[in-house]
Structure 1
Amino acid sequence: MASQNIYILGIESSCDDTAASVIYNGRILSNVVASQKIHEEYGGVVPELASRAHQQNIVPVVSQALKKANIDKSQLSAIAFTQGPGLMGSLLVGTSFAKSLAFGLNIPLIDVNHMQAHILAHFIDEKGFDKPSFPFLAMTISGGHTQIVQVTDYFDMQVIGETIDDAVGEAYDKSGKVLGLGYPAGPEIDRRAQLGNPKAYKFTKPKVNGLDFSFSGLKTAILYFIQKETTANPNFIENNLNDICASIQYTIVGILIDKLKLATKQTGIKKIAIGGGVSANSGIRKALKDGEQKFGWTTYIPKFEFTTDNAAMIAIVGYLKYLNQDFANQNIVASARLKI
């Protein structure tokens, strides 16, 4: 079947990015993302504003993806879309659009789990990037998710560890808010962390059994620490910002790596693939590379544009499902809390 000319349009609208991508036999021809700047002034994503922006963006974004891929919509083999998890209002826009377009073109509709897509982004044909072989461990880290998944096959995945409260990206953003940094704060904390001393301040790592994570206690500890220090010295943040960022990042990366070490020990699997927006973080990437030397890991880090929310990862899952003739029907609905 792979010898056919298979063109899949992928549509992603789970949060605040409207994205569309065209994939041809596993190779990305276009990957267009329209980000919503409006949320920056609120310090977080406002669901109602997000769904309205998706409605405005989806037609131009899909048109641009087709144009960049240099194909006509009549050449499409199927439409893949994010069914969930995500913000319900945002998901509804992408789901409704994908269903209508597939119906209008009389081609198959393919539902995609956003979390599976972050993992399967590793299978996009991209020069210079190796694809993991099965089985491997995937760690998905983003503003909304923190999971360790044992991946036995493309669609045989088991969550073996996840956050019991906040996601790692949220820990970055809330810490950034306390420090007066903009939203999203992760990239700025990362940038400053590289200029500071990671051992300047010590934050206690939460004690959570097994492979699960917790970040709410760390967020609270950082808040109290900043309140205490700024009471004693109002210029504390200004004078020590790089060191504070470095110490926060050192703690967060330490939590993630500790759990990965435990996961490799428990499963005996030493191949680790990461995905999700926080995987763009330089501290995490360096720690993973160090793990190759220290623990004999083989690590897989996707191209930067495939780590954050994007439609290329939706399209690759669409392609893999198309090869299996695994299609959805027109009765399918969006699901905000879809599990892997």
Structure 2
Amino acid sequence: MAHIYIYSPSGAVRDRAAFRRGVKRLESLGHEVEVDPSALDSWQRFAGDDATRLAAIGRAAASGADVALTSRGGFGLTRLLPDLPYRQIAKSIDKGTEFVGFSDFTAFQLALLAKTGKISWSGPALCEGFGPLGSSDDASLKGKAEASGAGQDGPDEIMLACFDDLIHGVGEGTGWRLPADSAKLGLEGLQARHAPLWGGNLAVLVSLLGTPYFPQIKKGVLFLEDVGEHPYRIERMLSQLLLSGVLAQQQAIVLGQFTDYSLSSHDKGYSLAKVVEWLRGKLKIPVLTGLPFGHVPTKVLLPVGLHVELLVENREALLLWGHIHKH
């Protein structure tokens, strides 16, 4: 099937059982899995010191793999951006390697786009995407997972199907159902044409504003997600993008999943929905919600930097990019 190279450019792998399950699952799907020699290294909170992780990225680019897949997110890539081997990574993409990841990997993807214009894929990481326990796993392991709060029954089928599309070069786009209240927003029809798709984790993206690693995208479709951020923090980051002029320069904003936060009585009705309402009131472009992407099991794969069309038919939203063939 495919040659998949696993490497760790960000945080240290803490769940080694999930790492092993992820490798085993990819192999069971018929893929050849190559694990970077420093994939399980640990230094402070990182998967090795900066030099170690830079070397791992270089080996991933030199591997000749069909897919270079991160082991996990966490934090660590922003400190590597000045020293990334951009030319080597770009050449590997030209030869057919697809770089896949999300969360902290947003820094890599946006810097790559800004420096080279090359396309990468927002999608699963090894541990969270392919490592969840399934019904066929050993019962004793399932008990340990349940004790740690892992309730997912194996990898998500939609994510697996999207990953398979990428492997076979047959992905044409993705779609999702908008919330019921979207009908009153007048979103029916074409929302964006020939628009560069870009974005990722909101906090990571905002951290690159004003740096050489922030792509200067106009007339694009910007997708955003985050985890563990209260709605007021999400609004604060969106405000920075709004006040800097980034949002108004796009054709559309698409919001994915914002998860793992808690509201309190102090919020008095303030919620993520209120943030979205506020944002729509500040922009003349459409703001869509519900994209199945983020720190959630059901995750589509999105080509960062590729031109797309965004359509809405009734409550169905469609991001279309046509056939993408292997190089």
Q: TM-score, normalised by structure 1?
A: 0.33
- Larger % of helix: which? 1
Q: Greater relative contact order (Cα 8 A, min sep 6): structure 1 or 2? A: 1
